[in-house]
Amino acid sequence: MISIDLLKVGQKGTIVEELDTHVPVKLMEIGCLPGNEVELVQIAPLNDPLYFLVDGSRIAIRREMARFVHIDLKP
Amino acid sequence: MTRELKVALIGNPNTGKSSIFNALTGLRQKVGNYPGITVEKKTGICQLPAGLTAKLIDLPGAYSLNTTSLDESVAVEILLNKRDADYPDVVVVIAEVENLKRNLLLFTQIKDLGIKTILAINMSDRMSALGVALDVSALETALDTRIALISTRKNSGIDALKQLLVEHESLSENPVLDINKVDLAYFEGLKKTYPKISLYKLWLAITQDVNFMPIERQSIADQSGFSTKSKEELKRMQHRETVLRYQFINEALKLGYEKDFSKADGFQGHLDRLFTHKLWGYLIFFVILFSIFQVIFDFSSYPMDAIDGFFGQLAEWVKVILPPGVLTNLVAEGIIAGIGGVVIFIPQIAFLFFFISLLEESGYMSRVVFLMDRLMRPFGLSGKSVVPLMSGMACAIPAVMATRTIENWKERLVTILVVPFTTCSARLPVYLIIIALVIPEGRFFGLGYQALVLTGLYLLGFLASLLAAALLSRNLKIDRKNFFMVEMPTFKTPQLKNVGFTVFEKTKSFVVGAGQVILALSIVIWFLGSNGYSDEFKNAEQLVAEQLQSEQSSLSSIEIERAISSFKLEHSYIGQLGKFIEPAVRHLGYDWKIGIALLTSFAAREVFVGTLATIYSVQDGEESTITGRMALERDTLGKPVFNLATGASILIFYALAMQCMSTLAVVKKETNSWKWPMIQLVFMTVLAYTASLLTYQILA
């Protein structure tokens, strides 16, 4: 299990069953729900924010939020 | 008698909702503000078949009815309140083929409110490229709705949507989610207490920060019969609700949506990597930014000169055909000049929004935010603040209007308040003249002093805006709990008709909104400058004639006229005011003549030069003569008035002061109140005064 702010570009994984309580409802509504796939698409030049593909949605969020989302890495 | 059908459009951002709204309403649109707040209200009229007229309202883009911004809560307020004037008979939820699953979350929530709902799936022209196949009738059954497949690009599906609106009676009002599944005990309790109201509506009213209330939120919590929930528990219930919604959506999509994943688009990926690249990303962005700025700076001068000339001619013509007198002067110099002063901004506004619209429509703007967020954040600004800040270098008016794209209200407000610090093009004439007067022509390691000072002033403006932003964001107590998230839409070719609509709409809202204020202020300033109560003013011609006679100078009739204008200005209301504030400005190194010029140039910075020209009785427009004349000006001790200390003081003052009533008018319009422009005016004036005071005292 790893938080998505620690991913390398191109790595992906499945969101774990127990979502951290800090994950806002809005992020869940975008597709950040247990069982859904997350992939790191790009890191901004100054290392923040992070561009993810979350269950088909392309969004960018800051590191401070990304560290609350945990996934099981896909080998 | 045609009955009006009230229709609301809602949908995720980036679904082409505006395109559909434009396609339905054409030019029969009206843009304003919701009363008391700064959210834009867009309404329009659409002629439907069968003699029906639809009154459309374009609700702000939203991902969900669980609101996280002021924009989203506006939609919830309207949709929860049957008695609201804008409460719709039908809602059209706009989705698009690529993100259909996520778009449908909002759809299920709207359905659960018990309102008749139509689903419009946009960008249908991209289906084959994406490998998507839809079974529309299967989806219609699964989602309990009617579906219109639309492509605004190919201009198809709009008529089908209109037909569905005509047939709205046949739409069901049943919810799609059984909300009891979220927490049976809780909702059964709610149902018992409020049997008549839809459960989802109650749930939404409890969890959202909504104003209207047929039922007081507190009273729901106080009812005995079921337990109250903590914030944590409410959030967990929302989590469960979201999971249930997506289960429903996935089931429905299994029946009617197929995607061929081998059709992954490599080109999009390449563009993304290019635009967000450490080096190329920024390079490309700055090239684009400077091109925009350059075009606005260069190309708008042609139409602006033409407008200037036109209104000048018009004023002259009016003076000729109407009898001489106060009313004629009011029309020619007050009203016509005032209207000219509004119209002259149109080219810059049109150009800027043309480019901004291209950036937004193509999807590139999100990448800009992605690149700039880390840089702007320490100053309390948004990644989207960059474009307005840079545009402020041409003119603050369109720049302030461009801040609309910043969703977070605090970031937007801070950007609006600091944009006027960036050196706009109107400061340039003042800078150039003063620099020519007081800065020596030498060189410092090959770089001319004058050029260095000019560059320094630009830097000062830029730094001032960043520092002011940092200061303001630390001290403004407005907190919107918004966590940062920006969607990265697929890159698309901008649709020119949407760009056209945006340019038209922005220009119109400026002329109508800010234009009134600018016109009113122009007339006031004109009046104060061309009227006076003193005897000297009333007997200007006589007194000037006497003075010239005693000096035994013989002047041409034009020169005599100028002498009279100068005399009149000196003794007008503004002139008196200038003399009145002289003690205050003396410490800055100014005499009353400069004081008058400072006051008049509140109308527009460039007026500073023109006013000095009038005071010194020089033909306005001949810069070399004005500069020459100013260089000769002596104070009571015989020393030059325009020395280094005074000159530097004037430069610093103009760099930091709010010398532009048009900007204030636009800020008032964008923030929907006079509070912020007044704060801005006071803050910047105090800052400018202090800085130029220090400058003068140190250098003198």
Instruction: Name the residue ranges covered by the structural domains of chain B.
Output: 4-170, 179-263, 523-699
The answer on pLDDT for B226 being more than 60 is no
Chain A residues within 8 A of B246 when measuring between CB atoms: 31, 33
CA separation for the pair B193, B308 (Å, rounded): 68
Nearest to A25 among B235, B272, B374 (CB): B235
> What pLDDT does residue B11 have?
96
> What pLDDT does residue B623 have?
56
Please name which of B95, B66, B208 lies closest in space to residue A26, comparing C-alpha atoms: B66
Identity at B177, one-letter amino acid code: L
Please name which of B374, B381, B372 lies closest in space to residue B468, comparing C-alpha atoms: B381
Mean pLDDT taken over chain B:
85
Percent over 90 (pLDDT), chain A: 77
Minimal C-alpha gap between A4 and chain B (Å): 15
Q: Which residue has the higher pLDDT, B367 or B517?
A: B367
Region B473-499: mean pLDDT is 84
CB contact under 8 A, B485 and A41: no
Report residue B224's pLDDT band, with 50, 70 and 90 as the boundaries.
very low
> What pLDDT does residue B332 have?
82
Nearest to A58 among B101, B239, B487 (CB): B487
Percent over 90 (pLDDT), chain B: 33
Q: Which residue has the higher pLDDT, B215 or B288?
A: B288
The answer on pLDDT for B139 being more than 90 is yes
Say if residue B341 is exposed, middle or buried (CB neighbours under 10 Å; 0-12, 13-18, 19+). Answer: buried
- The yes or no reply on domain B4-170 and CATH 3.40.50.300 is yes
What are the angstrom distances between the C-alpha of B7 and each of B18, B81, B92, B600, B638? Answer: 14, 15, 7, 49, 75
Nearest to A58 among B235, B374, B488 (CB): B488
Minimal C-alpha gap between B487 and chain A (Å): 4
CA separation for the pair B375, B382 (Å, rounded): 9
> What pLDDT does residue A63 have?
93
Give pLDDT tens digits for B330-382.
888 888 888 888 888 888 888 888 998 899 889 999 999 899 989 998 898 98
Give pLDDT tens digits for B497-513.
889 988 998 888 888 87
The answer on pLDDT for B479 being more than 80 is no
The answer on pLDDT for B50 being more than 60 is yes
Chain A residues within 8 A of B239 when measuring between CB atoms: 19, 25, 28
CB contact under 8 A, A27 and B66: no
Report residue B58's pLDDT band, with 50, 70 and 90 as the boundaries.
very high
A-to-B residue pairs, Cβ atoms closer than 8 angstroms? 99
Chain B interface with A: residues with Cβ < 8 Å? 63-64, 66, 68, 99, 101-102, 105, 232, 235, 238-239, 242-243, 246, 272-273, 276-278, 281-282, 366, 369-371, 373-375, 483-490
Give pLDDT tens digits for A36-71.
999 999 999 889 899 999 998 999 999 999 999 999
Sheet with strand B90-96: strands edge to edge: B29-33, B40-47, B53-58, B4-11, B90-96, B116-122, B146-149
CB contact under 8 A, A45 and B242: no
CB contact under 8 A, A60 and B486: yes
CB contact under 8 A, A57 and B487: yes
Report residue B74's pLDDT band, with 50, 70 and 90 as the boundaries.
confident
CB contact under 8 A, A65 and B484: yes
Angle of CA points B132, B138, B141, to nearest 5°: 135
Percent over 70 (pLDDT), chain B: 94
> What pLDDT does residue B109 have?
96
CB contact under 8 A, B370 and A48: no
Give pLDDT tens digits for B539-569.
778 888 787 777 767 777 777 777 787 888 8
> What pLDDT does residue B103 have?
96
> What pLDDT does residue B659 have?
85
Region B412-429: mean pLDDT is 90
Region B268-293: mean pLDDT is 87
Nearest to A30 among B102, B243, B371 (CB): B102
Say if residue B580 is exposed, middle or buried (CB neighbours under 10 Å; 0-12, 13-18, 19+). Answer: exposed
Region B405-411: mean pLDDT is 82
C-beta separation of B409 from B430 below 8 A: no
Chain A interface with B: residues with Cβ < 8 Å? 19, 21, 24-31, 33-34, 41-42, 44-49, 51, 55-62, 65
Identity at B148, one-letter amino acid code: A
DSSP string, B139-199: HHHHHTSEEEE-BTTTTBSHHHHHHHHHTGGG-----SS-GGGG-HHHHHHHHHH-TTS-H
Best residue in A41, A42, A65 for a mutation probing chain B (most B CBs within 10 Å): A42
CB contact under 8 A, A45 and B235: no
Give pLDDT tens digits for B231-253.
788 888 999 999 999 999 999 99
Q: What class does CATH assign to A2-73? A: mainly beta
